[in-house]
């Protein structure tokens, strides 16, 4: 029995929603194939283009997630896992989350859907914990559930899927440098002044209200972050200028994707996204920073 699945890449945090907001990028992501074997071994095949990623079942994210699912069932089951990555690890686009989400979903299908969608998110979070030291759910929830997700609570895990304007488009710039989530989590402050918390809550409230009612002005006014962006932006070459350029060219907002170095802009439609994408292409070329630009639906 075998299955092949696609898991979308994701943008976590989405401005002010550190660890609680995530969205799935349509068409950008990872393909993964799992086959049940007669033996008890979990075999992870070499990953095309990524010779340095570990393949041992206790180190590879797919192996970690699959083992946890099988252990929970008290079941020994050999697996052959083939991973095809489209997004580099350390990109800020939920590359490890894609592998975790794809494994949880695919294996559950082969196990006759014994686990609920929420349980799959919890298994996929184990992959995030192994990679970054923290079991954040914003990437894996969006990759598994699609669309736009809110992690309403971690204990117990509660996830909300929210509506968003159907024409909304995302432009992503992925400068080809690596930022490890584990490192960019450590540099964040552990505490925040209550006055900043109030500002941040106002921003999140405006952003979510704007998304669910298609009020573009509210989306725009809510896209400010006081937790991650002010600190992590130092790790991202050209971030300040790229953000200004996006906003000057009609973007509704711009921030860091996950823990970076990718950045993203919200645009009200395809044409606007094209304009921002073209400006960013030119901008990174002028700076001689090798960067991939994606335009995507949610
Ligand atoms: N919410 C996580 C973080 C996402 O910002 O650290 C990592 O991709």
Could you list the pLDDT tens digit for every one of the 298 residues in the chain?
999 999 999 999 999 999 999 999 998 999 999 999 999 999 999 999 999 999 999 999 999 999 999 999 999 999 999 999 989 998 999 999 999 999 999 999 999 999 999 999 999 999 999 999 999 999 999 999 999 999 999 999 999 999 999 999 999 999 998 888 888 889 999 999 999 999 999 999 999 999 999 999 999 999 999 999 999 999 999 999 999 999 999 999 999 999 999 999 999 999 999 999 999 999 999 999 999 999 999 9
| Active-site residue, 128 included | yes
- Check pocket membership of 258 for ligand 1, CB cut-off 6 A: yes
Distance, C-alpha 181 to centroid of its chain: 11
Q: Residue 87 and residue 100: Cα distance in Å, rounded? A: 14
Burial of 93 (0-12, 13-18, 19+ CB in 10 A): buried
Catalytic residue among 99, 122, 181, 229: 181
State how far the alpha carbon of 241 is from the alpha carbons of 121, 252, 254, in Å. 36, 16, 11
Burial of 166 (0-12, 13-18, 19+ CB in 10 A): exposed
Q: Residue 25 and residue 238: Cα distance in Å, rounded? A: 23
Residue at token pair 């109030």: 198
- pLDDT score, position 178: 84
- pLDDT score, position 286: 96
Distance 93 CA to ligand 1 centre (A): 9
For residue 1, give both structure tokens.
């029995």
- pLDDT score, position 154: 98
**Contact yes or no for 266/252 (Cβ under 8 A):** yes
Stated pTM of the model: 0.96
- Check pocket membership of 259 for ligand 1, CB cut-off 6 A: yes
Question: Other C-beta atoms within 10 Å of 159: how many?
Answer: 20
Q: Is 149 annotated as a binding residue?
A: no
Q: Residue 74 and residue 187: Cα distance in Å, rounded? A: 39
- Check pocket membership of 143 for ligand 1, CB cut-off 6 A: no
- pLDDT score, position 106: 98
Distance, C-alpha 250 to centroid of its chain: 24
Instruction: Mark out the alpha helices in the chain (DSSP H runs).
Output: 61-72, 95-110, 117-132, 138-145, 181-186, 194-213, 216-222, 229-232, 239-248, 270-287
- Check pocket membership of 31 for ligand 1, CB cut-off 6 A: no
Question: Other C-beta atoms within 10 Å of 278: how many?
Answer: 13
- pLDDT score, position 47: 96
Q: Is 91 annotated as a binding residue?
A: yes
Q: Residue 255 and residue 31: Cα distance in Å, rounded? A: 27
Q: Residue 227 and residue 246: Cα distance in Å, rounded? A: 21
Distance 2 CA to ligand 1 centre (A): 32
| Active-site residue, 131 included | no
- pLDDT score, position 151: 98
């Amino acid at each position: 029995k075998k299955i092949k699945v696609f898991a979308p890449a994701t943008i976590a945090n989405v401005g002010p929603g550190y660890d609680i907001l995530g969205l799935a990028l349509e068409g950008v992501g990872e393909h993964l194939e799992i086959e049940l074997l007669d033996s008890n071994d979990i075999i992870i095949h070499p990953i095309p283009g990524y010779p340095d990623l570990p393949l041992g079942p206790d180190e590879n994210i797919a192996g970690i997630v699959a083992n946890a699912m099988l252990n929970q069932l008290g079941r020994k089951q050999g697996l052959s896992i083939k991973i095809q990555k489209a997004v580099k690890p350390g990109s800020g686009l939920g590359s490890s989350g894609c592998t975790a989400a794809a494994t949880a979903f695919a294996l559950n299908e082969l196990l006759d859907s014994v686990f609920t969608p929420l349980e799959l998110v919890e298994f996929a979070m184990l992959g995030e914990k192994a990679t970054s030291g923290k079991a954040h759910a914003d990437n894996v929830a969006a990759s598994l559930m699609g669309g736009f997700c809110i992690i309403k609570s971690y204990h117990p895990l509660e996830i909300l899927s929210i509506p968003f304007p159907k024409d909304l488009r995302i432009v992503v710039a992925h400068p080809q440098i690596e930022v490890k989530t584990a490192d960019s989590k450590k540099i964040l402050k552990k505490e925040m002044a209550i006055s900043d918390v109030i500002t941040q809550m106002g921003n999140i409230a405006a952003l979510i209200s704007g998304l669910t009612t298609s009020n573009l002005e509210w989306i725009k006014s809510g896209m400010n972050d006081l937790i991650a962006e002010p600190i992590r932006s130092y790790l991202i070459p050209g971030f300040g200028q790229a953000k200004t350029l996006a906003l000057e060219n009609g973007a509704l907002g711009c921030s860091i994707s996950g823990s970076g170095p990718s950045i993203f802009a919200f645009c009200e439609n395809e044409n606007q996204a094209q304009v921002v994408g073209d400006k960013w292409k030119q901008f990174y070329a002028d700076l001689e920073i090798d960067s991939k630009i994606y335009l995507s639906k949610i």
